Structure 1
Amino acid sequence: MGNTKLKAIDFFCGGGGMTCGLKSAGIEVIAGVDYDGDCAETYERNNKGATFVHADITKLPLEHFEKQFNIGKNDNNLIFVGCSPCQYWSVINTSKEKAEKTKNLIENFQSFVEYYRPGYVLVENVPGIVTGKGSVLQKFIEFLTAHGYSWDWKIINMNHYGIPQTRKRFSLIASRLHSEISLPKGDSVKCPKLRDVLGEDNGFPKIPAGYRDQTNNQHITSNLSPINLERLKSTPKNGGDRLSWKNNERLQLPCFVGKDHNFKDTFGRMFWDKPAPTITTKFFSISNGRFAHPEEDRAISLREGATLQTFPKTYVFYANSIAAIAKLIGNAVPPKYAELLGKTITKYHVN
């Protein structure tokens, strides 16, 4: 069964977190597909040998991979990955009208699975895809069963899989070649904390807000207004929050008056001895969550965010702004978790 090298196509690839991890597991990633052309340079320059396909999956012909990459049907050595954008099912406030386009992307991915019948399927998404009203997940699982796939899915905390952040995600693995298949098991005891990966001892020199690193290390931070800098200086080190200055009329924000327990993490500092919170696309901003450095008066840097997502320090992000780079990082599947999935499939494939 495992005489031929495993290969993959990464649908909704973004900046390449899943591709990076699968390649680290020894899997050849043939192509990554995404409608956002701004991902192309980051994807291809960091993942040599993988071709970026700039396309809207809802309009991409099913035979595209057959014609362009000589991908055959019923290939036991082929993995299809479908980590579709998930705004519709996310608990984070977003415009439902804007997010509506992401609601049924898994159905479009399903069409490619049905056409090619790859040996394996991987899906990663927000937990809301399980419980959301009108979720297409149940239909997708029924489709897998009807087409001869065994499968396993869980809502996992990626901190139990070596990721130094509390990141709860839906994860699914499926195989057409095995009567049973299981996701890798996590470890709720050996969970990495912030101090395991950040700080001066881990190669992150102290820098101020607004620092512009000119190297590929991209230890870059967003600027802070004078008032926000003062707020952060008034926030206790190592896990402090905005309640420390709630009675300061000049520092307190009107929207937080009388709402001490609403959005408490906003303007908060991370804890050295806890995992980071979920790294979102807004991790560069202290007003969008607990994204302030535990000690320094700034938000975490782009490289610190990428490290919390387990990107290698050699992985360079190409975009025109801090916000655009943060989007590539925050939307990614952590490569270390993707590598675990790749190794899990490899283990099943060779046995």
Structure 2
Amino acid sequence: MIRETSLFREIIVDNFAGGGGASSGIEQATGLNVDVAINHDIGAISMHKVNHPHTEHYCESVWDVDPVEVVRGRKVGLCWLSPDCKHFSKAKGGKPLNKTIRGLAWIAHRWAAKVRPRVIILENVEEFQTWGPLAEDGKPIVDKKGSIYNSFVRQLEKKGYEVDWRVLRACDYGAPTIRKRFFLIARCMANQLSGQIQHMAILKVQR
């Protein structure tokens, strides 16, 4: 059901929604409820429903959800994405990485192409910037480090987005952790990166 309040404003979509940490941060920063949450895991979506009962939930793979059907003619003000970070993180050590999981971030381009959110925010570990192809053994190809990331950014720019990114520490924004996180922000407008958006990114509850 479309909530009445969402009919008169841009909506907010939380991909890879988890238990609702990012949604809580967005709501604290904007004063607005997240309208749509998507996650394939029934446990995560069940928890999100408890924490955000007014949100419309989709228990499906992000690739199986059609953005056009989800928004139903509404404008998207913010599309948030927190794709799986384990296959970028240095905490993974020397274990083989999974190309498919690393490629989940490409869902940002599907949303950009189909419904053109005004702002797209992608949150991950700082090593996301090193995204490149993998060798047959599942290890990164060193001399192509960052090449897929650069292509990811260029393709957003070709779609008309202004792209910026930062590595921020949550403790600098009031969260009780020194962990660093990477935030990419793509905007369909000429504004400079706003402090509100930075704060929104950091307010998410850390997993």
Structure 2: distance between partners of 1:127 and 1:82: 15
Partner AA of 2:191 in structure 1: E
Q: 136-145 vs 163-172, which deviates more?
A: 136-145
Match of 1:22 in 2: 26
SS for the counterpart of 2:160 is coil
Match of 2:143 in 1: none
Partner AA of 1:45 in structure 2: V
Structure 2: distance between partners of 1:335 and 1:112: 19
Counterparts of 1:196-275 in structure 2, within 5 Å, are: none
1:160 aligns with 2:159: no
Deviation at 1:167, TM superposition (A): 1.0
Structure 1: distance between partners of 2:63 and 2:118: 23
Structure with the largest fraction of helix: 2
Counterparts of 1:1-351 in structure 2, within 5 Å, are: 4-24=8-28, 25-66=30-71, 70-72=72-74, 75=75, 78-93=77-92, 95-97=95-97, 99-134=98-133, 135=146, 136-176=148-188, 178-182=189-193, 184=195, 337-338=203-204
Q: Which runs of 5+ in 1 are unaligned?
A: 186-333, 340-351
Deviation at 1:128, TM superposition (A): 0.8
The answer to whether the Cα contact below 8 Å between 2:13 and 2:78 also exists between their aligned partners in 1 is: yes
Deviation at 1:166, TM superposition (A): 1.1
User: Residues 297-348 of structure 1, C-alpha deviation per residue, up to 9 Å, x if partnerless?
Assistant: xxxxxxxxxxxxxxxxxxxxxxxxxxxxxxxxxxxxx986249xxxxxxxxx
SS for the counterpart of 1:111 is helix
The answer to whether the Cα contact below 8 Å between 1:172 and 1:183 also exists between their aligned partners in 2 is: no
Given the superposition, is the C-alpha separation of residues 122 and 164 from structure 1 closer, same or farther in structure 2, using an over 3 Å criterion? same
Q: Which runs of 5+ in 2 are unaligned?
A: 1-7, 134-145
RMSD: 2.4
Deviation at 1:60, TM superposition (A): 2.9
The answer to whether the Cα contact below 8 Å between 2:183 and 2:201 also exists between their aligned partners in 1 is: no
The share of aligned pairs that are identical, in percent, is 20
User: Residues 131-174 of structure 1, C-alpha deviation per residue, up to 9 Å, x if partnerless?
Assistant: 24335332222122112222321111111111111111111222
Structure with the largest fraction of strand: 2
Answer 1 or 2: higher relative contact order, Cα 8 Å, separation at least 6: 2
Deviation at 1:11, TM superposition (A): 0.5
Match of 1:205 in 2: none
Deviation at 1:62, TM superposition (A): 4.3
What TM-score does the superposition give when structure 1 sets the normalisation length?
0.47
User: Residues 40-66 of structure 1, C-alpha deviation per residue, up to 9 Å, x if partnerless?
Assistant: 221011112112211112333343314
Given the superposition, is the C-alpha separation of residues 55 and 15 from structure 1 closer, same or farther in structure 2, using an over 3 Å criterion? same
Partner AA of 1:28 in structure 2: N
Bigger-Rg structure (1/2): 1
Match of 1:330 in 2: none
Structure 2: distance between partners of 1:183 and 1:92: 31
Partner AA of 1:14 in structure 2: G
User: Residues 278-308 of structure 1, C-alpha deviation per residue, up to 9 Å, x if partnerless?
Assistant: xxxxxxxxxxxxxxxxxxxxxxxxxxxxxxx
User: Residues 247-270 of structure 1, C-alpha deviation per residue, up to 9 Å, x if partnerless?
Assistant: xxxxxxxxxxxxxxxxxxxxxxxx
What TM-score does the superposition give when structure 2 sets the normalisation length?
0.76
